[in-house]
Every structure is written in C-alpha cells, then in structure tokens.
Amino acid sequence: MDVKTLCLGLLSVREACGYDLKKTFETSFKHFFPAGYGSIYPALADLAATGLVECEEIPQVGKPDRKVYRITPAGEKAFVEALNRTEPQHKLRSEFLAMIYFSDLVDENRLVEVLDDRVEQLRETVRNIEKHERQNAGDNKSAGAAFVAGFGAVIANAAAEYIESNRHMLTDDDNQSDGMLDNRNWAANG
C-alpha cells in the first residue's frame, strides 16, 4: 500500500486538505505508516489528475486558497479494489535495531543515551496515541481505527518494557568486552 492509497482511504472517511491529512499521518498513522508533505501533496495531485479525488479551492483572507479534497465515486471504487487486492505485509525498518545489533562497538555512554532516548520516544508515541484517542472520543470512529490505535500503543509499550527489562544485556561491562572480541573475530574471519 502506498501514500496515494492511504490518502484515498482517509478521504473516504471525510473531505480534507493536505494539512489535515498530514496531521492524521502524524497521529493515527505515525507508529506504522509515516508520511509528510513531500509525499502527501504529490499523491493528492496525482489523485486529482486521474479523477479519483476532486479539489475545491476555498479563498482565505491574507492566505493562499485552501484546497479541500474529496473522494469521487471512481476514487472510492479504486480504494476498495486496492484494499481487496493488497497482500498486507508488516514491515519494520529500524536504524535503532541495526545500531543495537552492533552495540558492542558503540561507546557505552552513547549506548545508554540511545536506549534512554528510544524508551522516551516509545512512551511519547503511547502518550500521543492516547491523547489523540481522547480528543476524538466523540467521533464515530471505526472499529478498525480503534484496533490500529490500540495495536500501536501495545507494541510501543511492549518495546519500551523490553528495552528497560533487558538493557543489562547491552550495558554489562563483562558482556561488552567479550562480545566485542567475538564480533571482531567473526568480522575478520567472515
């Protein structure tokens, strides 16, 4: 699934401007599918050019016109077809985990800082999800949206708890020196 398809999906719920879509990507989607203006606006332009969304320009005083997008019947059809043919994959790309894999080569003070920062980022993700859920409690939210929010909060909490419970594996001086020698031997002989 790509940003264009997700924009169609969000517009199937309600009309929105690019800023509104970006806010949704930063809140509801942040923990699993981040996107910024650099991908949202080109996606909206492509969707409008192909007739899957319509754009209405609303004049504003002292500001550029506000572009509000709404999905067309062709866009709704395209979105449903995309949902039904998508093979859902759960991908994870993590520079954090890549760095931790080689943690025996990282200065221990830096490693402690990275672990602390990651736990705080995960806790902040949970706080943001919960805040968003409270702010939108009165909305007629779909069961799927509620499921995704809960899934994100559970995953972030579990990751933070795992780091906190197992950081001793990475910061123990005895394990660090032994691991460094093992990895250097492996790299030299590999």
Residue 146 has pLDDT above 90, yes or no: no
- Could you tell me if 100 and 170 are in contact, meaning their C-beta atoms sit under 8 angstroms apart? yes
Residue 31 confidence (pLDDT): 75
**Which DSSP category does 105 fall into?**
G
Nearest in space to 96 (alpha carbons), one of 75, 77, 111:
111
Displacement of CA 146 from its chain's centroid (Å): 16
* pLDDT tens column, 2-55: 999 999 999 999 999 999 999 888 888 877 888 888 999 999 999 999 999 999
Q: What is the pLDDT of residues 79-123, one digit of tens each?
A: 999 999 998 888 878 899 999 999 999 999 999 999 999 999 999
C-alpha of 135 from chain center: 19
The whole-number average pLDDT for the span 149-177 is 85
* Residue 181, pLDDT score: 39
Token code pair at residue 119: 């736990």
Mean pLDDT of the chain: 87
> What does CATH list as the number for 3-85?
1.10.10.10
* CA-wise closest residue to 147 among 12, 27, 3, 28: 28
Structure tokens at 182: 């093992």
- The answer, yes or no, to whether residue 157 has pLDDT greater than 90, is yes
Residue 135 has a pLDDT of 79
Angstrom distance (rounded) from CA 91 to CA 86: 14
Which pLDDT score is estimated for 21? 94
Compute the distance between CA of residue 37 and CA of residue 18 in angstroms, rounded to an integer.
8
Ranges of each domain in the chain: 3-85, 95-189
